[in-house]
Amino acid sequence: MYLVGGGSFEQTGLSSHKECRKLVKKDGGFNFEVRAMMKYARNGHSVCAVGQTHLVVAGTRIGNGASSEIMDIKADKWSDLPDLNTGRYYHSSCSFNSSKVFLFCGIEQATKKYLDSIEFIDLQANNRKWENFEVNYGDKVCWPLISGR
């Protein structure tokens, strides 16, 4: 289990915005082990495991909200991924087949309005980029999830 980024949004420059810690069993209890720091400050972001080897972190309330990063867990190293098409925060993410990561809905950083979109990236592609994921679900993608309809 990993604890990645976060902390008070109102306070700038917090180390917790870039921290990554791994929960490890030690001496009959549990401790957080400090891992490599992310490049970008995070608050309101999402993080998901991609198989057993990587973590992908995307979005944030800090800055333009479009940055994304990938961590090689074994090497303990973060690398940039391309910027999102739409800067977002308070969204959800998941991985699929240990190769794709999907981002769902959230709030657009620029307008502070709810997003009705999904983006994905194929981590095995030669030219990695975030792409819009088109869903044929009436005229709204996320609104039924938000409204409970």
Q: What pLDDT, in 10s, does the model give residues 96-108?
A: 999 999 999 999 9
Which pLDDT score is estimated for 53?
A: 95
- CA–CA separation, 43 and 67 (whole Å): 12
Arithmetic mean of pLDDT, 58-78:
95
Alpha carbons within 13 angstroms on the beta-carbon side of residue 35 total 23
Which pLDDT score is estimated for 17?
A: 85
- CA–CA separation, 139 and 149 (whole Å): 13
Q: Cite the beta strand spans of 1-149 per DSSP E.
A: 2-4, 20-26, 29-34, 46-50, 54-58, 68-72, 77-81, 88-89, 92-96, 100-104, 107-108, 118-122, 131-132
Which pLDDT score is estimated for 148?
A: 46
Percent of the chain with pLDDT over 90: 65
pTM: 0.86
Q: Which domains does the chain have, with CATH numbers?
A: 43-147 (2.120.10.80)
